């Protein structure tokens, strides 16, 4: 069984001290650091798309954005093409770029795929995880807990990184590199929808309680209970979107 997480530029390794919620440097420790102008523009533009500064379907005009982000047209196009690869931006041939649309049907597809892959990986991981796996899960849960009581718009970026770390730790005793790759793609696509749900503010959802249920079941080696808790957890975002009051969603 695979007991180590593959490297990820967006998530720090599952080693070292847990960052406390009061640590003002925690965001810097979790967020990626841009090494080039293109990378910096990519991370800024990606964040603004996820945060909804550019609505789904919005035109992304290179001539305007190069001024906003202080880079040249070629550098900005490089960043936009990375976002096309992330499926957050659509390239329209000679007509430029648009923000990838959002829809309930899109979230339904993301949710089905994620449940199908992640739940099976969790079952296997709970059954066969060793002491090192337990340590990874505990450490990632402690870090996540520091950022989600409650989750807020202000700490969303740090929470997202810790959330992904926790979910990857849970499946790390069974997942393959392909498992991580596919789930990271699905999680990235789901990030905009999670951001929308956090922004609603009145869904009465207790994300920390959901994660606690998953964590406790995993530590008890109750694989069926952990799998059910994970399936409910993943499906709740879709339920919140479906039940959102009319006019509150950006799509």
Of all residues in the chain, what percent carry a pLDDT higher than 90?
A: 72
Mean pLDDT of the chain: 86
102: left (phi over 0), alpha (psi -120 to 50) or beta: beta
Q: Taking a C-beta distance cutoff of 8 angstroms, is the pair 148, 207 a contact? A: yes
Q: Taking a C-beta distance cutoff of 8 angstroms, is the pair 210, 232 a contact? A: yes
Total length of the chain: 251
Give residue 175's pLDDT band: very low, low, confident or very high (50, 70, 90): very high
Give residue 34's pLDDT band: very low, low, confident or very high (50, 70, 90): low
Give the model confidence (pLDDT) of 193-243 as tens digits: 999 998 887 678 899 999 999 999 999 999 999 999 999 999 999 999 999
Q: Examine the pLDDT at 93 and tell me if it is beyond 50.
A: yes
What domains does the chain contain, in order, with CATH numbers? 29-99 (1.10.10.10), 103-242 (1.20.120.530)
| The pLDDT value given to residue 60 | 97
User: Considering the entire predicted model, what is its pTM?
Assistant: 0.81
Q: Examine the pLDDT at 6 and tell me if it is beyond 60.
A: no
Give the model confidence (pLDDT) of 50-69 as tens digits: 989 999 999 999 999 999 99
Sorted by sequence, the CB contacts under 8 Å of residue 210 that are 6+ apart come out as 229, 232, 233, 236
Q: Examine the pLDDT at 3 and tell me if it is beyond 80.
A: no
Joined together, the tokens standing for residue 249 give 């969603």
User: Cβ atoms within 10 A of the Cβ of 205, count?
Assistant: 18
Give the model confidence (pLDDT) of 158-169 as tens digits: 999 999 999 999
Q: Taking a C-beta distance cutoff of 8 angstroms, is the pair 194, 162 a contact? A: no
CA 74, 80, 86, 91 torsion-angle sign: negative
């Amino acid at each position: 069984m695979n007991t180590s997480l593959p490297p990820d530029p967006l998530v720090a390794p599952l080693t070292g001290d847990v960052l406390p919620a009061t640590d003002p440097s925690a965001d810097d420790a979790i967020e990626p650091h841009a090494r080039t102008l293109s990378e910096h523009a990519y991370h800024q533009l990606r964040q603004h798309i996820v945060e909804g500064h550019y609505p789904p379907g919005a035109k992304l005009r290179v001539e305007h954005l190069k001024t906003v982000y202080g880079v040249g047209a070629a550098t900005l196009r490089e960043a936009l093409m990375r976002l096309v690869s992330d499926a957050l931006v659509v390239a329209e041939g000679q007509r430029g770029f648009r923000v990838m649309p959002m829809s309930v049907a899109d979230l339904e597809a993301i949710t089905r795929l994620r449940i199908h892959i992640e739940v099976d990986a969790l079952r296997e991981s709970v059954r066969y995880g060793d002491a090192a796996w337990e340590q990874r899960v505990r450490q990632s849960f402690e870090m996540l807990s520091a950022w989600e009581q409650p989750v807020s718009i202000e700490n969303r970026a740090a929470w997202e990184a810790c959330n992904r770390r926790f979910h990857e730790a849970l499946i790390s005793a069974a997942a393959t590199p392909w498992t991580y790759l596919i789930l990271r793609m699905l999680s990235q696509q789901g990030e905009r929808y999670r951001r929308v749900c956090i922004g609603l503010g009145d869904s009465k959802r207790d994300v920390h309680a959901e994660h606690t249920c998953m964590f406790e079941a995993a530590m008890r080696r109750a694989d069926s209970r952990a799998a059910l808790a994970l399936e409910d957890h993943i499906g709740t975002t879709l339920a919140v979107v479906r039940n959102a009051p009319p006019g509150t969603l950006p799509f």
